């Protein structure tokens, strides 16, 4: 016999919370799977490997085009780590915003 009994409202709220958390988890996973790449880069020459890790982010490249999910660092730092791992970066977009020419030069160690 249980020591305490949950009220119907408490039982409902715990069930609703579980459904909400499950739904949010599914939604975020589905969004990532449906082209949820946060970083998009174009390299000056083809990537040396199709998949590699730079700054704790897994990059997937096909030819000179590379994509990755969001990391914890600023876009310029992510770009620099990509340049060190794969070579000069011709363009870099983070969250839909492209790096400007001066930032891109710094990314490639030219500024």
Each residue's pLDDT tens digit, 38-49: 999 999 999 999
Please give the model's pTM, rounded to 2 decimal places. 0.68
Backbone angles phi, psi at 106, to 5 degrees: -65, -40
Residues in contact with 35: Cβ distance below 8 Å, sequence separation at least 6, in sequence order: none
* 61-80 confidence digits (pLDDT tens): 999 999 999 999 999 999 99
Spatial separation of the C-alpha atoms in residues 65 and 59, rounded to whole Å: 10
């Amino acid at each position: 016999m249980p020591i305490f009994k949950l009220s119907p409202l408490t039982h409902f709220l715990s069930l609703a919370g579980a459904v909400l958390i499950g739904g949010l988890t599914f939604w975020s996973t589905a969004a990532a799977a449906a082209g949820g790449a946060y970083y998009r880069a174009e390299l000056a020459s083809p990537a040396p490997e199709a998949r590699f890790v730079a700054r704790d982010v897994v990059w997937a490249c096909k030819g000179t085009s590379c994509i990755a999910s969001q990391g914890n660092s600023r876009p310029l730092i992510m770009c620099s780590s990509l340049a060190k791992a794969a070579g000069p970066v011709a363009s870099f977009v983070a969250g839909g915003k492209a790096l400007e020419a001066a930032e891109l030069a710094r990314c490639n160690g030219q500024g």
